[in-house]
Amino acid sequence: MEVIMGFLMILFIGLLSLTGIFMISVKESSLDKFLFVLVAFATGTIFASALFDLIPEALHHLEELNSEGANLSENFLFITIIIGYVVFFV
């Protein structure tokens, strides 16, 4: 069931990427509203990817580095993440 749900989600997102084809025939006033929704969707996708995939993987990698003697704290990782968000959005 998980494989089917994953496939359906990927198919749904792939079909959403085809919305650019329909942008050619849309009026400019409605295009601005629609682009706002698409940008919000893209931002949410990037944010969710970071929260649910990249940050946990970075924590796991940090544990591996510390087991090899790197002596890096989790605070270092989270401060780096916060600085990255601030630089990206400013």
Which residue range forms the structural domain that includes residue 57? 26-89
- Give a yes or no: residue 30 inside a domain: yes
In a domain? residue 16: no
- Position with higher pLDDT, 61 vs 18: 61
Does the residue 10 lie in any domain?
no
- Is 69 among the domain residues? yes
**Confidence category of residue 36, pLDDT binned at 50, 70, 90:** confident
**Cα first-last separation, the chain:** 41
9 within a domain of the structure (yes/no): no
pTM of the model: 0.53
Task: Answer whether residue 19 is part of any domain.
Answer: no
Among 20, 17, 23, 26, smallest CA distance to 45 is for: 17
> With 80 as the cut, is the pLDDT of residue 90 above it?
no
* Residue 8: band (very low, low, confident or very high) from pLDDT cuts 50, 70, 90: very high
User: Over 90: is that where the pLDDT of 79 sits?
Assistant: yes
User: Is 6 among the domain residues?
Assistant: no
Q: Is residue 21 part of a domain?
A: no
Count the domains in the chain.
1
* pLDDT of residue 11 exceeding 90: yes
Using CA atoms, how far apart are residues 12 and 31, in angstroms rounded to an integer?
A: 21
